[in-house]
Structures are given as C-alpha cells and as structure tokens.
Amino acid sequence: MRGEGDEVMTMIKYKWTLLLSGFMLALAAVFLLQGGGRPAASEDLSDPFLDPYALSLAHRHAGPGSETEAEKTIRLTPSWPEGKPQAGSPALLAIKISNGEGRPVNEFAVTNEKLMHLIIVSSDLQHFQHVHPEYNGEGAFELPVVFPTSGDYKIYADFQPAGMNELTRSDQMTVLGQPPEPEPLQPSETLTASVEGMKVTLEFEDAPAPQSATSMTYTFTDEETGEPIKDLELYLGAVGHAVAIHESTEHFLHIHPLNWASSGPQAAFGVSFPGSGKYKLWGQFQRRGKTFVVPFVINV
C-alpha cells in the first residue's frame, strides 16, 4: 500500500511538473517575441503562416494613428552646420532627435543593423538614397550628403527610441541652385528590369488597391541562362528591403521581406498601400558584395 509519504512525493513531483511546463511556455513566448519565431529561409512562399497583411504590419513602422502619446512627442530637427547644401558637393547634415520637453533622446535600439535609416528623395522621386547617419550621442546624428541636383528634397528617418516602437519622421529641404525641370512620374511599362546581369521581375498577388493587403514578389534569374539566382546575400540583415513613396511624397512605406533569410531566387513582401495614386518602389538587394537598387513605378 502506498503510504502518506508516497502521496506527498507524488504531489511534489506534480507541482514541479507544472512549474517546469510553465517555465518552458514562458521561455517559448520570449523566444517568439524576440524574433525567434520568424519564418526560416525557404523557396516555398505558399506557407499559410506567412500572412502578408499581418507580417506587413509587423514590419511597418508606427504611424500617427498607432503611436503612443509619448511617441507622438518625438521630433526630428535637421540642420546644416557647415552651410546649406549645393548640388554635387558634400554637405554635412545634422539631425537632432528630441522629446516633447525639448530634451534629446539618448538611447536607440538597433533595427536592421543600424540606429537610423535615412531615405532621401527628390520631390519628383527621380533621385533616391538610403544612408545611415553616425550617432554622436545626446540625440545627435550626422553624415555628409551629396545631392545630385538642385531643388526640393524630402528626408524620411526611421529609428527606434529605447522602449518605444519604430518611428518615422520626415522633413523637407532645398538644395541651392537652379533646379532641373521636374520629370513627370509615369507607371513602368513593364515590371521587369535588367540589373547587374540579372533579370528582375516584380509580381503582385492581387492588383494593388488602397488599404488592401497583398504580397509582392521579386524574382531573380540569370539574364543569359535564365537560371534562378540563389546566391543573394543578406542586406542589412535581410534578403532585401523595399521602399514605396507616393507621388505626393505624403505616404511612405519601408517594408521588410517575409522570407527574410532567403538567398533567392525570390524576395517576397507583404504590403498595404494607404491611398490611391502612383507610387515609386525601390527594391534594395545585395549580391557578391555589391548592393543594387531595382526601381519601378506602379499605379494603385
């Protein structure tokens, strides 16, 4: 017969089993929250868990409607400590990040290998740069910028203050000199481009429509042989990045891939365009140590 001591031991073992199970569940939750649950590299993009809308939102930055009250107070202030920029010459751009009290934001989280991603485009979206300012402490970033032409430009800064979501802040600036005639933005005749010996094709699962989730996939093949490209390299921690800007420059999307660790031949993104009109897309990828950009213009 089982004695009273056996029953006590059984109860202790049962309680320890419950505690261990709870610990393992908590550990798994932390692993997922920290990104351990990201989809692995795969050529199969039909995985039902790769929901384009959910993953698109997960990789988009907090917008005005979703920011907390503290996040809404974060400000970006650009300046030119060595004088205003002129086309073709390096100009030092300084950026200050401050809170609602005017105090500098001192701590930032690393996102995609950098503390700040800075997108610079001309007002007609003909010129594009994706650069990374150096952080000097006390909310101050800086880097030299060379503008290819005079005229109006817009900057979009992506960063994540410690303890907050990723944020995007923008500002406008003018480069001294006589600006060129603006080029009208026209939708691309074909979503196929020849880049660095590759044929790059962009396809949408559904026709892009305002506030409607869809997926867009870049496919890479060798331009001469037609063989699929499978040696893409990670660029800023992923198989690629995509930036989409509305013709008015009011809507900005910085989208990260669903199959983030893939090496090709596809890079897939989930996207939901906020409004109708023409958008310019810049896909950024890396192969053989060289970064390349694939631009297209679409109509939503």
Q: Does one domain contain both 139 and 237?
A: no
Query: How many CB atoms are closer than 10 A to CB 23?
Result: 10
Contacts of 51 by beta carbon, 8 Å cutoff, 6+ apart? 270
Give a yes or no: residue 245 inside a domain. Answer: yes
Q: Does one domain contain both 166 and 190?
A: no
Give a yes or no: residue 275 inside a domain. Answer: yes
Give a yes or no: residue 107 inside a domain. Answer: yes
Q: Does one domain contain both 225 and 151?
A: no
Q: Does one domain contain both 167 and 263?
A: no
Give a yes or no: residue 234 inside a domain. Answer: yes
Give a yes or no: residue 24 inside a domain. Answer: no
pLDDT for 278 equals: 97
Which residue range forms the structural domain that includes residue 263? 184-299
Q: Which residues of 218-244 are buried (b: 16+ CB within 10 A; e: fewer)?
A: bbbbeeeeeeebeebebbbebbbbbbb
pLDDT for 1 equals: 43
DSSP label at residue 36: I
- Rounded to a whole number of angstroms, the CA Rg of the chain reads 24
Which CATH number characterizes residue 200's domain? 2.60.40.1940
* Entry pTM: 0.79
Contacts of 239 by beta carbon, 8 Å cutoff, 6+ apart? 41, 232, 257, 259, 260, 261, 262, 263, 264, 267, 285
Q: Does one domain contain both 83 and 168?
A: yes
If DSSP codes are grouped into helix, strand and coil, which group holds residue 24? Answer: helix
Domain endpoint, select from 175, 208, 240: 175
Contacts of 59 by beta carbon, 8 Å cutoff, 6+ apart? 255, 256, 270
Cβ atoms of 88 and 95 within 8 Å: the answer is no
Domain endpoint, select from 175, 210, 226: 175
Give a yes or no: residue 32 inside a domain. Answer: no
Give a yes or no: residue 46 inside a domain. Answer: no
pLDDT for 119 equals: 98
Spell out, as residue ranges, where the chain has pLDDT lower than 70. 1-65
Q: Does one domain contain both 171 and 189?
A: no
**Helix (H) and strand (E) counts for the chain?**
3, 17
Number of domains in the chain: 2
pLDDT for 63 equals: 47
Which CATH number characterizes residue 156's domain? 2.60.40.1930
pLDDT for 53 equals: 36
CA–CA distance, 192 with 257 (Å, rounded to integer): 19
Domain endpoint, select from 147, 175, 203: 175
Q: Does one domain contain both 209 and 152?
A: no
